[in-house]
Amino acid sequence: MKRSITLVEVLLVLVLFLFGEAPWAVGGSSHCKQKSPVEVRPHSVTITEFGAVGDGVTLNTKAFHNAIFYLQSFADKGGAQLFVPAGRWLTGGFILISHLTLLLDKEAVILGSTDSDDWPIEDPLPSYGRGRELPGGRHRSLIYGENLTDVIITGHNGTIDGQGSVWWNRFKNGTLNYTRPHLVELMNSTEVVISNLTFLNSPFWTIHPVYCSQVIVQNVTILAPLDSPNTDGIDPDSSDDVCIEDCYISTGDDLISIKSGWDEYGISYARPSSNIVIHRLTGETGLGSGISIGSEMSGGVSEVHAESLRFFNSNNGIRIKTAPGRGGYVRNIYISDLTMTDVKIAIRFTGQYGEHPDEFYDPKALPVIDKISIKDVTGENIRLAGLLEGIEGDNFLNICLSNITLSVTKDPPWNCSYIQGYSNLVSPKICELLSEGIYPEHSSDCYHLPNHLRSSAGHNRAAWFMKR
């Protein structure tokens, strides 16, 4: 296994970014307009006031708990801020409160404990029915919050390091007792901002907003070794009004994975993911995809708008994963301005992903995949242009691909089954199931970006973002 990402490597990434030499430093106007993520709260304390020691050895879980407990009294008085100064602050999991800013100094590193006893056990998510990896509960994330509003996690490029290698080894050795923890998870929360930080070596998915609304993730770097298992970058899950912008992610699994519950539990919980904006995303993934939808999508996923994407050295570019038994839907997806280099499969739809929580799922619960538009795509050294596999008796409909030029090394470049749709200006020549010709005769069958969401300097993506 590759070693964990080190702070020295993070600093190198940041130096390259600041001096304009990084390939992902793409300019442009913000689509996640908001109040300043480092705005001054009327009440502020420093973690050292509660006995914390930043030596990388002393366990500071109690200090974080006590500081946040103290700040609770200011939640209705304009909110509060917990400042983490320079140092290496070892801690187990801790819980945030509403109207709180967690602010990290540029030289601050929050370190997750390598002792699993410092990561408490939580009940499984109701939309999953069990822990994602194992039946039963799951370890709570390092930074956690539930039923919160107005939460900001930010810094001056400070670092949150999950020290995940111990968890990855236990996963690979089959010695886990519970599903691994995320680095940050917020549940049933609104008005969440996560910005200007580096996240390293998450034990499992890195940033996981679940059952949330009005979420911004902006200007973050997420790093984990390319062979680290399931270290997704950002996973909006049964959440709406999510804006992800100006992020660099290099991990072992999906850079962004949009989810909404698993089989019968997701169908019953019925909380979709919708109105998700992704803008200026760059990165690589060892085993996953640049942007993935599913495979847990049983509550439905719709209105996903992703633009200005740069993926390299990755397994897949864009992927939709589902299976009989999932139910739900994936519809009204718009992806444009995508550049790929050294990617194995540029566009991949998988209708037989399998993997169910238990034997009680309904195999007749078929997903609906409809109106997926992907346009303005280029790629160099792509092994396979597309592996587009729907479900027999449940075709994926209105798949629209246009203005796509890929340099492909495998013949045939496209492999398609159980899909229906249209194409225009696609090279190499696409499979016959996506018949040539979109404009004008089939334009109404394709999903188009609504006028109020089209890229334009100074314009924002959604009403809430405009109010921030």
Q: Tell me: the pLDDT tens digits for 5-14? A: 655 454 444 4
- What mean pLDDT comes out for the span 278-287? 97
At 347-392, the pLDDT tens digits run 999 999 999 999 999 999 999 999 999 999 999 999 999 999 999 9
Q: What pLDDT, on a 0 to 100 scale, did the predictor assign at position 4?
A: 65
* pLDDT at residue number 30: 73
| 278: pLDDT strictly greater than 90 | yes
Distances (CA, A) of 310 to 32, 177, 219, 382, 401: 19, 37, 15, 14, 18
Tens-digit pLDDT profile for residues 322-351: 999 999 999 999 999 999 999 999 999 999
Q: Return the pLDDT at 467.
A: 41
On the question of pLDDT at 449 being above 90, the answer is no
- Of 283, 279, 245, 276, the C-alpha closest to 259 is 276
Share of the chain above pLDDT 90, in %: 85
Which CATH topology does 232-355+369-450 take?
Answer: Pectate Lyase C-like (2.160.20)
Q: Model's pTM, two decimal places?
A: 0.92
3-state SS, the chain, equals: CCCCCCHHHHHHHHHHHHCCCCCCCCCCCCCCCCCCCCCCCCEEEEHHHHCCCCEEEEECHHHHHHHHHHHHHHCCCCCEEEEECCEEEEECCEECCCCEEEEECCCEEEEECCCHHHCCEECCCCCCCCCCCCCCCEECCCEEEECCEEEEEEECCEEEECCCHHHHHHHHHCCCCCECCCCEEEECCEEEEEECEEEECCCCCCEEEECCEEEEEECCEEECCCCCCCCCCECCECCEEEEEEEEEEEECCCCEEEECCCHHHHHHHCCCEEEEEEEEEEEEECCCEEEEECCCCCCCEEEEEEEEEEEEEEEEEEEEECCCCCCCEEEEEEEEEEEEEEEEEEEEEECCCCCCCCCCCCCCCCCEEEEEEEEEEEEEEECEEEEEECECCECEEEEEEEEEEEEECCCCCEEEECEEEEEEEEECCCCCCEEECCCCCCHHHCCCCCHHHCCCCCCCCCHHHHHC
- Model confidence pLDDT, tens digit, residues 249-258: 999 999 999 9
pLDDT reported for residue 25: 33
pLDDT at 16 over 50: no
Is the pLDDT confidence value at 458 over 90? no
Give the domain ranges of the chain. Answer: 232-355+369-450
Mean per-residue pLDDT for 208-237? 98
Share of the chain above pLDDT 70, in %: 88
Q: Is 27 exposed, middle or buried (0-12, 13-18, 19+ CB in 10 A)?
A: exposed
**Could you tell me if 224 and 253 are in contact, meaning their C-beta atoms sit under 8 angstroms apart?**
no
Average pLDDT over residues 153-162: 97
Contact 308, 278 (CB under 8 A): no
pLDDT at site 28? 53
Q: How confident is the model at residue 453 (pLDDT cuts 50, 70, 90)?
A: low
Contacts of 1 (CB under 8 A, 6+ apart): 165, 168, 169, 172, 225, 227, 228
Q: How far apart are CA 441 and CA 447, in angstroms?
A: 14
Res 437: pLDDT: 86
Instruction: Evaluate whether 425 touches 399 at the Cβ level (below 8 Å).
Output: no
Residue 36 has pLDDT above 90, yes or no: no
**Rounded distance, CA 441 to CA 24, Å?**
37
Q: How far apart are CA 128 and CA 262, in angstroms?
A: 5
Better-scored residue on pLDDT, 32 or 233? 233
pLDDT at 460 over 80: no
Q: How many CA atoms lie within 13 A of 159 on its CB side?
A: 27
Confidence check: pLDDT of 19 > 80: no
- Return the pLDDT at 435: 83
The band of 228, judged by pLDDT with boundaries at 50, 70 and 90, is: very high
Flag the least confident range among 219-228, 321-330, 433-442.
Answer: 433-442
pLDDT at 461 over 50: no
Using the structure block, give the residue that is written with the tokens 């203005």.
403
Residue 452 sits at φ, ψ, to 5 deg, of -75, -5
Question: If you average pLDDT over residues 428-442, what whole number do you get?
Answer: 89
Which residues, listed in sequence order, are joined to residue 376 by a DSSP beta bridge? none
How do beta strands 138-139 and 121-122 pair?
antiparallel
Residue-averaged pLDDT of the chain: 91
Which whole number is the average pLDDT over 175-193?
98
Q: What is the mean pLDDT of residues 41-48?
A: 96
Tell me the catalytic residues. Answer: 253
- pLDDT of 438 higher than 60: yes
